[in-house]
Structure 1
Amino acid sequence: MKELKQRNVYKIVRRVTQRHITNNFLGIMPRRAAACLGEQTRRLGDQMVDAESTPRTIDVVKLRGSRNFQCNKVNNITELSKTLSTDLQELSVRLETLMEEIKSLLSRHKASVQSLNRTYREHMDFVIERISVNINTTLDEHENSNTIGDCKELCFITSMKCKYIIQQAFTVLGKSDQRLTLQGEFNRNVSIRSDSQTSGISGMCVLPDGLILIADSVTKTVRLLNQQYEVVSHCDVISCPGVICQITPSKAAVALIGHTVWVQFITVTERQIVPSRTFQLEHTCTGIAHHQGDLFISSGFELYKYALSGRQMCRLYEDPLGELTVDKCAVSPSGDKLYIISCSKNTLLTLARDGNTLAKYTDQELLHPLDLHVTPAGQVLVCGWRSQTILQVDCKGERKLATFAQNVWDAWGPQAVCYSSTASCIIVAQGVFNILVYRVK
């Protein structure tokens, strides 16, 4: 009976000790330390219980007869249990001491974290205050400055940007159908020393500052003309350059036609042509136009829309009979209309932005059209190579407004056309390295 009571006491001590550790320490001390302490306490209780529950007598002979059993000495469990400490007060004191140490560590840790946070906030306040003072000082300097000084470069840039915006605003003011009137012309030669006796001007475009880019498919060059129509720079390309169009006030895209078809971007910097990135096409390129980040590229059979990255977005139009009728293309300044010429059908086709046909125009004075151009004001110009004419068509592509330069081309008809808003003139490519410049009233 006495042994049963003592065994129950040991069990109660073990349960109370474990509950005390769980309630008072595990929420405070680190997990690893708490787990270690709980495990040690559990083992101590198990030893105390097992010491009383184990039989006092052992059949040594029976144990020695067991297979693979080796034992040199056997001690009585009762004697061994006398060496264990049963002083609960001592155990409680040890636990309380350990708890105080853990609380002290946690307190120091919290104080260290609070100190770091306080130092961080003080440093951030100092940095923000310095930045604020610098910003306010700079703003005060700008507010006290009423003039920008005699900055000719800045005035020139502002003037060019304003001219470009004003030119685009003409369409809104209803100038797209205003008839152009010529008041004289002159001839310019755009050859360079390395040229042979032949050339083939396949495309032209005018930048807002009046500089002109010319693509020559025979010499495989792109040339830059100044406002006096003199060649100031040229760039050799890997394949025959075809059509060309403006992308930004200083950047253009030119199609390179060969075994592989590429679109080459070029930049005009300090009156020098600088080639930049390219992307490959899976079809040929007969025409190219740009509007607000979209490239419109014709292949002879279809008209596609591309992103400037080179990703094909969609096919807008294709010839219903699969014939070669989708040659050069152009886009209106507002981007709501697309224009296509067919060299074989002698037609000008007007499309909506989604590719639906709006109008189809033919004329006896428009034979074998090779190029078309839309001015910044929205006026549509088409040049007929066989008819040797330049026609102005209304923005809807339904009627002719004027016919220019008829029968003045000798043996060479017009091959490319563009309009310069800076100089108010129509520029037409013809013959061998020759361009005709027509002044517009």
Structure 2
Amino acid sequence: MSSYRQFKTVMLLSDLVKNTSTDLKKVSVTIQTTLVELKKLQDNPEVSIQYVQISYDEQLHKIQETRENILAALDMLEKKTLQKMRDTLTKLQASLKSDVDKCSTLGIELKQLRDAIQDISDQSEQELSFIASIKCKDNIQQFKNYLKKNFAELKSSITFDPNSEIMQYLSKLSGLAQSLTAVGNADQIIRIDGKSEYDVSIQGESTCHIRDICVLTSGQVLVVDSSNYKVKMLNQQYQLVSHCSVSDEPLGMCQITPSEVCVTVCAEVQFIKVNNNQLVKDRKL
């Protein structure tokens, strides 16, 4: 049995055209609007790709800086250790030289006494012989006592015992970063659980008017103080760590890279970078 469809009505195409309004201009506008939306969808990922690449390059620079800081710290530890070894060497050498001088002095005295004894041959000089004998015995005993006391020091040496805790600590680390975070732009519901107030004024400023605020990926906070014509940077404890002045009242701020913002100053745009934990003014448009 063959299948077939049932149609309620059958109309000629010419009749359908007559009864249907065809506004090609409206369709063209709709197409144009759709193309604009598609272009936005295309541009946004491209901008994001560039932004991610910029942030990646900046983090590579931070990794290099971290490595250099670690090497500098190790160099400082090495210098301190070498200085301690040099101080120890100087101390031991001074002590050993004193021992050598003492031995030399005792040797000279004993030789002088020996020569004096050899010159005493007359029995009439028994008293002198007795005195010389006592003096010799006394010097010999001094030498024996000195030798017994300083024998261990005569064989002193310098030893270096490495701090194994440093290598143990480094071997346990998974990398140079405490964390690696990918920051997205997804919409989130924000709930306020509390409020804290922090003073971001500089000495001599009576009031501060915070016009805009921006949190960098590093956790540093930038605020625009329109009353004092300044951009200020706070650390993660919200303590003021750096600031820079702008030519006029700042009106707003926008982050363009992980370490750079642009600030609108009247009819100008001032670019400001974060470099070595300091705000540095860059180009101006």
Q: TM-score range by the shorter chain?
A: 0.3 to 0.5
Higher helix share: 2
Asked which structure has the greater RCO (Cα within 8 Å, sep 6+), the reply is 1
Higher strand share: 1
Structure 1-normalised TM-score? 0.25
